[in-house]
Amino acid sequence: MWILRLNMTDRSYKFEDVPESYAMLGGRGLTSTIIYDEVDPTCHPLGPNNKLVFAPGIVTGAASPTSARLSVGGKSPLTGGIKESNAGTSFAPAMAKMRLKAVIVEGKPEQSGEYWTVMISWEGDKPKVEFMPADEYTGKDLYEVFPQIYERFGKKIHVCGVGTAGEFGYANSGIAFNDMKKRPTRYSGRGGLGAVMGSKGLKFLLLNAEGAPGVEYADQEAFKVAAKKLQVALNEHAITKPKGGLNSYGTAVLVNILNEAGGFPTRNFRTGRFEGAAKIAGEAIFETNKKRTGKEVYNHACSPGCVIQCSNTLYSESGDEIVSCIEYESAWALGADCGIDDLDAIGELVRLCNAYGLDTIETGVSIGVAMDSGMIPFGDVKGAINLVHEMGKGTPMGRLLGGGTGMVGKALGNPRIPAVKGQGMPAYEPRAVKGIGVTYATSTMGADHTAGYTIAPEMLSVGGTSDPLASDVAKADLSRAFQMTTAFLDSTGHCLFIAFAILDIPSGFEGMVEEVNAMLGVELTNDSAVALGGEILKRERAFNEAAGLTKVDDRLPEFMKYEPLPPHNVVSDLPDEVFDKVYGEM
């Protein structure tokens, strides 16, 4: 396997052997370690000294279910700290099959405004790299450009690119990857990594894996056994099985639930319940599609080999596609958080975010703050659509909004900024869901709903001080355990949604760890796998500390301490010691 370095200053490249110290790493573990090892934490995220790292997971490209995740890492222009954001896309297994352990993008063109396409294809016995001008694709809608790229480079390529948001250097820009229908809809959305890619003049990174040898297994037979364990667990579990919860209703099945719990942030986190929630929920998407298409439309896979298949598509009255996909967080950010209950309008807002290369969460939360500040009224669909256009077209107002939630609140003089470390808070109100608040506050990524997604089965019978029902302090222990296990899972290349099956069906967790062992020829136990996740977090934390983030940044927004959240009328009341304990005892 190789590590490929792309130097965007002089458009040169270099293949390097994988250092021994990186042998056990993949996905997030590898991107974060390379950033920790090679990037000056005090550098400007959009300057020449930041790096952008792409890495498929450890088992990505192998015959394993739901494992096509690609991690992208760098110093975040949104948080000022380390960032890993991963996406499910065919790009990930293609990269693994070309035996590219990581691609590191360095430098930047001396002339600003130059954009390049880099094509990596297989030739002979190793990948071949070509740089080509990409200026003709800049300033355009990604839905328009992606077909042009496929037309020019062939249908079998895999596409990664940035939209105008990345070109403008927005802190709310994402990196777009192709989905199974070659649309620009799979995103490494969070943290502004699109701007890092754009700052390097890299408009498109393309792969053509035809002829590539595929992944190498240390023990292919053992891998098959391990992957089968995981597959069985995924197929058995009520949430992950075909026509189960995620396959039917997608992640937006959570809308009504969080709403009833009083934890569905509404109108820039003013209340925890939205009167229009049922209209924008997964159930409504499923039934609206059924009515409009005349059949039950179950969700599809975002990437090859996924058995969960949770990605939805919203169809119009005429049966045409409005957009794919409306995730829970997107339905919330561009819906309830902006006081919008029009499903088709939300679909259009998501489509525009995809077209311009914007993170739906950061964009929605930023518009929510703008609405809360009186720029336009809550519920103003046309106004919201116009603001997204302003971002995409780079008007002065759009450039301000593209700076992200914190920037918008500061510019508009609004102290109600729902963000941690500058990153807009996702769709779970931490005053009502206090456990997620601990993870939001302490994650190395800023407010991130995916940072603490799963836990090892061994930790279920935690008891004592770790009893989640017993004490606030236990929330710190649990958040740490969640974050460690998740950092490992993010390194495997598996999607977080295997968490349901690997938690509830212990053989599933074993299967995941045994896959890694069979792939790498190591002997991790469940415990040592989680410990490996802890090591990854320590590196991320050390980078952040060197970048200037301190424990004072591990806090929820102040307004949540003094504004009670209806309907439960709860405030953020966890003592600072709880937040400090998460990393203080690691």
Partner 1 sequence: MATIQVEVWLYGPLAHYGGSDDNISAQVYCDLPVGSCMQDLLDVLGMPTEERGITFVNGDLSAMPGMHPDLKHELHAGDRVAFFHMKSMWPFQYRHGVKMAEEFTESMGNREDKGLRSTFEK
By CB under 8 A, name the binding residues for partner 1.
237-239, 244-246, 248-249, 253-254, 256-258, 260-263, 272-273, 278, 281, 283-284, 286-287, 428, 432-437, 439, 449, 452-455, 460-463, 467-469, 475, 478, 482, 499-500, 503-504, 567-568, 570
In terms of Cβ atoms closer than 10 Å to its own Cβ (0-12, 13-18, 19+), residue 546 is: middle
Shortest reach from residue 241's CB to partner 1, in Å: 10
Cα separation, 548 vs 294, in Å, equals: 56
Shortest reach from residue 570's CB to partner 1, in Å: 8
What does the block give as tokens for 62? 């192998």
Q: Count of CB atoms within 10 A of residue 317's CB? A: 10
Shortest reach from residue 353's CB to partner 1, in Å: 23
Beta bridge partners, 52, equal: 105
What does the block give as tokens for 385? 């659509």
Q: Which of 482, 502, 470 is nearest to 437 (CA)?
A: 482
Shortest reach from residue 383's CB to partner 1, in Å: 27
Beta bridge partners, 102, equal: 3
- The distance of Cα 419 from the centroid of its chain, to the nearest Å, equals 16
Q: Which of 94, 73, 85 is nearest to 30 (CA)?
A: 73
74 vs 272 by CB, closer to partner 1:
272
Q: Count of CB atoms within 10 A of residue 517's CB? A: 18
253 vs 560 by CB, closer to partner 1:
253
How is residue 110 annotated by DSSP?
Answer: S
278 vs 586 by CB, closer to partner 1:
278
What does the block give as tokens for 69? 């995740």
177 vs 249 by CB, closer to partner 1:
249
Shortest reach from residue 289's CB to partner 1, in Å: 12
240-268 as b/e: b if 16+ CB within 10 A: bbeebbbbbbbbbbbbbebbebbbbbbbb
- The distance of Cα 476 from the centroid of its chain, to the nearest Å, equals 23
74 vs 262 by CB, closer to partner 1:
262
Shortest reach from residue 88's CB to partner 1, in Å: 18
351 vs 449 by CB, closer to partner 1:
449
The angle that helices 434-442 and 576-584 make with each other, rounded to 10 degrees, is 60
- How big is the chain, counted in residues? 586
Shortest reach from residue 549's CB to partner 1, in Å: 23
Shortest reach from residue 506's CB to partner 1, in Å: 11
The stretches of 493-586 forming alpha helices (DSSP H) are: 499-504, 506-520, 526-547, 559-562, 576-584
- The distance of Cα 94 from the centroid of its chain, to the nearest Å, equals 19
225 vs 278 by CB, closer to partner 1:
278
Question: What pairing do the DSSP bridges indicate for beta strands 2-7 and 100-106?
Answer: parallel
Shortest reach from residue 281's CB to partner 1, in Å: 8
224 vs 292 by CB, closer to partner 1:
292
Cα separation, 27 vs 520, in Å, equals: 14
What does the block give as tokens for 220? 């292919």
35 vs 487 by CB, closer to partner 1:
487
Shortest reach from residue 335's CB to partner 1, in Å: 15
131 three-state secondary structure: strand
470 three-state secondary structure: coil
Shortest reach from residue 40's CB to partner 1, in Å: 33
Residue type, 327: E
What does the block give as tokens for 476? 């710190």
434 with 482: CB under 8 angstroms? no
195 vs 481 by CB, closer to partner 1:
481
Shortest reach from residue 242's CB to partner 1, in Å: 12
Shortest reach from residue 576's CB to partner 1, in Å: 17
Shortest reach from residue 465's CB to partner 1, in Å: 12
Shortest reach from residue 19's CB to partner 1, in Å: 34
Beta bridge partners, 266, equal: 271
Contacts of residue 559, defined as CB under 8 A and 6 or more positions apart, other chains included, come to 415, 416, 417
What does the block give as tokens for 477? 């222990």
Beta bridge partners, 53, equal: 73, 104
164 vs 485 by CB, closer to partner 1:
485
H/E element holding 151? Answer: helix 142-153
Cα separations in angstroms, 309 against 235, 249, 331, 358, 495: 11, 10, 18, 23, 11
Torsion of CA 479, 485, 491, 492, to 10 degrees: -140
16 vs 287 by CB, closer to partner 1:
287
197 vs 502 by CB, closer to partner 1:
502
378 vs 440 by CB, closer to partner 1:
440
Question: What pairing do the DSSP bridges indicate for beta strands 202-208 and 116-123?
Answer: parallel
140 vs 292 by CB, closer to partner 1:
292
What does the block give as tokens for 382? 């046309």
